[in-house]
Chains A and B, each alone.
Chain A
Amino acid sequence: MPDEIKAGAAPPPTPAAPAAPAASAAPGVTRRGFLTWIGVAWASFSGAMGVASLSTLRYFFPNVLFEPPQTFKAGFPEEYIAGQVDNRFKESFGVFMVRDEKTLYALKAVCTHLGCTPNWLEAEFKFKCPCHGSGFYMSGINFEGPAPRPLERYRIVTAEDGQILVDKTKIYREEKGEWQDPESFIAT
């Protein structure tokens, strides 16, 4: 910058005016214009690389899954017998349908210890995990073994046709007081 050149030094060179480019530069190309283009080139290159990286990251998330859907219709509330655990959706959706005296709820069939699938033991009236022996009451509350917290509940609502709709995208945890939520159970 010409302003920074100290007085008394050799006569400052004339600032490079667009009309008078350096002898070595091609006619019509100024230093400032050249640097601008370099900047534009780097910005577009970085942008393209960024988009390519994000696209590659997105590549690892498939659009179609060959898995059971996250929501399913689980029949009518009358189909479930009070005081019983229903295993019919355990295999296909990983859900225990449980009906006690007043409510119907959908327990996530995943042990809160390390993620195995517990079994409902009818004779002993409890859920038991085969891996490390965690035990849960019919309510899903843990009472033995290493599981640190109760089984989780899925969102359960009544659809327009009167059937039960289980929504696996939303879970309710007892230890957070979420079992009070009206969508964590259906009153029967």
Chain B
Amino acid sequence: MAAPPKKSLFTQIREGQVWNSIFRHGPPDNTRNRSLAVLTNVFLHLHPVKVRKSGLRLKYTWCAGGTTFFLFLVETITGLLLMFYYRPTSEYAFSDILDLRSQVPLGIMREIHRWGAHAMVIAVWLHMLRVFMTGSYKPPREFNWNIGVLLLVLTLLLSFTGYLLPWDQLAMWAVTVGSNMARATPFLGNEGPGAALLRVGDISLVHAGDDARFALLAGRFVGSGALLRFYVLHCVGIPLVAAVLMAVHFWRVRKDGGISGPL
């Protein structure tokens, strides 16, 4: 009785339980398995099975949306790395930023994060310009345009909240000026329309000590409370909401027939 032929290590792995628990289809040597390779992979399943030729034309798409997403990933990774050194307190924030530049190996990390942020705002703007100029906001894509507008606002808010974190004079005054806009929020800001109506007798319900700007800054001025709030919003709050909206955005692109083609 002859022994069965010895299998190679590669074959043993391919037939083993570990491999087959992760990749639940045979080798991609036929159309069905090749489709399954895409459909059963969490990273590839958002990608459509078929891509239209126009969707790949750089002259048409500018790849601005893809660039934006790529920059979001760059910002996520470099931002995460910056969190290892940066402390969001009025005592340390400014010196930590200086140390990131001069005392930390690969001191360009902070600059990548900063320039990436500038580039992302430009990329979002170019993406929206392209979508607008090609009429891709029209039905059935009008819902996705609205998601995109929300993502534009979130991108700007990410830039704005990140602006305070170096804790220098530029940051302080820029956010002092910027957060003054919250004073004028209708009904929620103490100088906004409607705030004067919210009175009980002689007591004003919306004043400088309890309005929208106060909640944003944790006080009446830009101080250590504002620094911590902006840090949390910058690192966790806004990116989380943006990631959820991006998932909807990409899913909707696919459901609406992929990237829109020339009219």
- Which chain A residues (23-73) contact chain B, with CB distance < 8 Å? 60-62, 65-67, 70
Hey, which bits of chain A sit against chain B, CB under 8 A?
60-62, 65-67, 70, 114-116, 131, 169
Number of A-B residue pairs at CB separation under 8 A: 32
> When the two chains form their complex, are residues B176 and A67 in contact, meaning their CB atoms are under 8 A apart?
no
In the complex where A115-B176, A116-B173, A116-B177 touch, is A65 in contact with B219 (Cβ < 8 A)? yes
**Which residue from chain A places its CB closest to the CB of B215 in the assembled complex?**
A60
> When the two chains form their complex, are residues B176 and A116 in contact, meaning their CB atoms are under 8 A apart?
yes
> When the two chains form their complex, are residues A67 and B223 in contact, meaning their CB atoms are under 8 A apart?
yes
> When the two chains form their complex, are residues B180 and A62 in contact, meaning their CB atoms are under 8 A apart?
no
**Which residue from chain A places its CB closest to the CB of B208 in the assembled complex?**
A169
- Chain B interface size range: 10 to 19
21 contacts between A and B (CB under 8 A): A60-B215, A61-B214, A62-B218, A62-B225, A65-B219, A66-B223, A66-B224, A66-B225, A67-B219, A67-B221, A67-B223, A70-B209, A114-B177, A115-B176, A115-B177, A115-B180, A116-B173, A116-B176, A131-B173, A131-B177, A169-B207
**Which residue from chain B places its CB closest to the CB of A57 in the assembled complex?**
B215
> Within 8 Å CB of A115, what residues of B?
176-177, 180
- Closest chain-B Cβ to A161's Cβ sits at a distance in Å of 25
B220 contacts A by Cβ under 8 Å: yes
- Closest chain-A Cβ to B112's Cβ sits at a distance in Å of 29
> Within 8 Å CB of B180, what residues of A?
114-115
CA A66 to CA B223, docked complex, whole Å: 9
> Within 8 Å CB of A116, what residues of B?
173, 176-177
